Amino acid sequence: MKKRFRIATAGATTDGREISADWIRQMAKNYDPKKYGARVNLEHYRGVLPDGPFKAYGDVLSLHAEEVDVGGEKRLALFAEINPTPDLIELSKKRQKVYTSMEVQPDFAKTGEAYLVGLAITDSPASLGTEMLQFAAGAKTNPFADRKQSPENLFSEAVEIVLDFTEAPPDDGLLTKVSKLIAGFGNKFASADARLQDAHQAIELLADNQRQLAEQVGKFDDLAGDHQALKAAHDQLQADYTALVAKLDAEPAPGFTKRPAATGGEGGANLTDC
């Protein structure tokens, strides 16, 4: 996340006007580099040569309005996200041009609202800047007139800025929330993985039971075949037994002698002597 630098607070300008809180809100709301990008310049001079001392030193990427405490008083301030050139980074390392003054168009493109059209780096501190503002406001000819894009534009007083362009650490609150969110996802994934493991174990147990059941069914099939064979053997034995009994019933007992026919009676039949 890129750092934001406070470039102005509601206050005085070079021509006696005041930068109102409404202007700051409007600049923060309306600023869009695609619509009109504010460049960083040196002492409000806009050079025409790319390698001269008054070349551009960067671009304003975005604006943000926020209340700050100034001497125990709450005032609305304007913060800028800046994309610096290597020259601006080098100047900041050397502690040169450590104040900023913004150029404001109060009625930008006939919208009736304020817009940031430029940002200057300067060595004029706030106290000296205030004297310059008072002088410029009281002068018949504004000494900054030739540095403005439009006569109705105004320059704010110079405020100190620490141009440290190292990446800002993420917000602790946001980092904590993200960490908790990631941890929550981790817990959910762990819980889902545990449930998946349980389901996998259940499937393995079911497959093992199915395998055992199939083996038992196979054994039952074998037993059924054995039962059919035993039944056929039993039926055959029963038939053989029945035939044998019938045969034995038809034959005389061992040692049996048939009695001779009786004689006497009419026609020469044998009579029994009683």
Which residues are the active-site residues? Answer: 15, 44, 101
State the Cα–Cα distance between residues 40 and 63, nearest whole angstrom. Answer: 14
Q: What's the first-to-final CA gap in the chain, in angstroms?
A: 150
Is the sign of the CA dihedral 80, 82, 87, 90 positive or negative? positive
Whether 7 and 80 have beta carbons less than 8 Å apart is answered as yes
The SS3 assignment for 230 reads helix
Write the CA distances from 96 to 38, 90, 121, 157, integer angstroms: 21, 9, 9, 18
State the Cα–Cα distance between residues 149 and 144, nearest whole angstrom. Answer: 11
